[in-house]
C-alpha cells in the first residue's frame, strides 16, 4: 500500500523497494505494544522501530544509496520536525562479563560481615531496638519484624525480616534514613550499598512505578523531588520498579527494576531511569517455593 513505510535501496544490481516486516513505535505513557496501530507516530516522545528483511540482497552487492519513505498522514503542533534514522542495536550480542566479587563473597549470607573494617553500617532486625541504629526509622504503624508470614508464603532467610505494608492507593510506606555526616562525622567519597528485598505474593502495583532503597547526598538542596542536580548541589541513586509487563508483551508477567538517579549529566527535571536490561537480569519473575534458604531478609509486603 502507498501509505506503508518503504525502504528504497540503490544497488549495483538495480533499485529495490522493501516494506517493513514489522513496525511499532514507543509511547512513553504506556507499556502497551503499538505495533497494531494504523499509523506510526514520530516525535520527541515517540521513536519508531521498523524491521526490514534484507536477506534478498547478496552480501557482496554494495548499496550505494538508501532512502526511507514515510508517508505523512497528519502533522500535530507547530514548527519543523527533524527525523533521524539509525540502525537499532538489539543488544543480544553483548558478551557476558565475569562477576567482580567484593569482600562480601567471604561472608556467606553476610554472617560476620559487620566485623570487616570497610563496613560503615550493618543492620538486621533481631533486636527490639534496631531502629536506634538509624538516624530515623518509621513509620512505625506500617512496619514490624517477622520471621515468617504464612499467608504470603514467606519464610525468612536468616533471622527476622522487616515487613513493610503499603496501603491500597498509597505510594509511600517505609521511610528509614542513615545520615553519614550525622552518624559517622563525614560524607563518604565512595560507597557500596547492599540489601535483600522480597516482593510479597500479593504485590500489585497500580501506579506507573516507584522507588526502592538507595543512597543519596541531597543536602536539602537537590537530587530528589524534581530538584535537578548540577553535580555540586546533590545527587541520589535509588532503586526503582516499573509496572509488571502486560501478558501481551513477550516479557509478560515480569517485574522490571533498575536505578533511579539524579546525577551531574542529567538533562530533565526529574531523575533518569536506567532499567537493568542487560541479559534481562532486571526483570524479576514471580515464583513460589518453600523458600528454604533462598528468601531475602528484607521483605516489602
Put simply, whether the predicted model's pTM sits higher than 0.95 gets the answer: no
Q: Is the same domain home to 219 and 280?
A: yes
Pairing of strands 143-146, 161-164: antiparallel
DSSP, residue by residue, 46-81: B-EEEE---TTS-TTS-EEEEEEE-------SSS--
In a domain, 142, yes or no: yes
Domain with 26, as residue range(s), is 6-69
In a domain, 74, yes or no: no
In a domain, 24, yes or no: yes
Q: Hey, which bits of 52-186 come out as E strands?
A: 63-69, 143-146, 148-149, 154-155, 161-164
User: Does position 282 have pLDDT exceeding 80, yes or no?
Assistant: yes
Residue 235 confidence (pLDDT): 93
Confidence tier at 254 by pLDDT (50, 70, 90): confident
Residue 300 confidence (pLDDT): 35
> Residue holding cell 547478496?
58
In a domain, 78, yes or no: no
In a domain, 89, yes or no: no
Cell matching residue 164: 513493610
Model confidence pLDDT, tens digit, residues 179-211: 999 989 998 888 888 888 887 777 777 667 888
The helix (run of H) or strand (run of E) holding residue 180 is helix 180-184
Tally of structural domains, the chain: 2
Residue 272 confidence (pLDDT): 93
Confidence tier at 298 by pLDDT (50, 70, 90): very low
User: Does position 2 have pLDDT exceeding 80, yes or no?
Assistant: no
Q: Is the same domain home to 120 and 201?
A: yes
Q: Is the same domain home to 129 and 181?
A: yes
Average pLDDT over every residue of 80-95: 74
In a domain, 91, yes or no: no
Whether the CB-CB separation of 155 and 191 falls below 8 Å is answered with no
Q: Is the same domain home to 214 and 138?
A: yes
Amino acid at each position: 500500500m502507498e501509505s506503508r513505510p518503504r525502504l528504497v535501496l540503490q544497488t549495483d544490481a538495480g533499485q529495490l523497494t522493501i516494506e517493513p516486516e514489522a513496525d511499532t513505535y514507543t509511547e512513553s505513557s504506556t507499556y502497551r505494544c503499538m505495533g497494531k496501530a494504523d499509523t506510526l507516530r514520530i516525535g520527541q516522545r515517540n521513536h519508531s522501530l521498523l524491521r526490514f528483511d534484507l536477506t534478498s540482497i547478496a552480501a557482496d552487492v554494495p548499496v550505494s544509496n538508501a532512502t526511507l519513505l514515510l508517508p505523512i498522514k497528519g502533522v500535530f503542533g507547530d514548527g519543523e520536525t527533524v527525523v533521524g534514522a539509525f540502525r537499532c542495536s538489539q543488544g543480544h550480542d553483548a558478551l557476558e562479563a565475569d562477576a567482580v566479587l567484593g569482600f562480601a563473597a567471604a561472608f556467606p549470607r553476610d554472617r560476620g560481615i559487620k566485623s570487616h573494617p570497610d563496613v560503615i553500617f550493618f543492620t538486621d532486625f533481631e533486636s527490639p531496638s534496631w531502629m536506634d541504629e538509624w538516624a530515623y526509622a518509621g513509620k512505625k504503624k506500617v512496619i514490624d519484624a517477622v520471621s515468617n508470614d504464612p499467608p504470603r508464603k514467606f519464610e525468612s532467610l536468616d533471622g527476622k525480616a522487616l515487613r513493610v505494608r503499603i496501603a491500597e492507593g498509597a505510594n509511600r510506606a517505609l521511610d528509614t534514613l542513615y545520615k553519614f555526616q550525622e552518624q559517622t562525622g563525614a560524607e563518604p567519597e565512595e560507597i557500596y550499598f547492599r540489601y535483600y528485598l522480597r516482593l510479597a505474593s500479593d504485590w500489585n502495583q497500580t501506579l506507573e512505578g516507584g522507588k526502592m532503597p538507595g543512597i543519596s547526598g541531597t543536602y536539602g538542596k537537590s537530587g530528589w523531588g524534581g530538584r535537578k542536580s548540577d553535580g555540586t548541589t546533590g545527587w541520589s541513586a535509588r532503586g526503582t520498579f516499573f509496572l509488571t509487563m502486560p501478558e501481551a508483551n513477550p516479557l509478560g508477567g515480569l517485574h522490571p527494576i533498575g536505578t533511579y538517579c539524579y546525577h551531574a549529566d542529567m538533562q530533565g527535571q526529574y531523575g533518569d531511569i536506567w532499567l537493568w536490561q542487560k541479559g534481562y537480569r532486571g526483570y524479576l519473575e514471580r515464583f513460589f517455593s518453600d523458600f528454604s534458604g533462598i528468601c531475602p531478609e528484607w521483605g516489602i509486603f
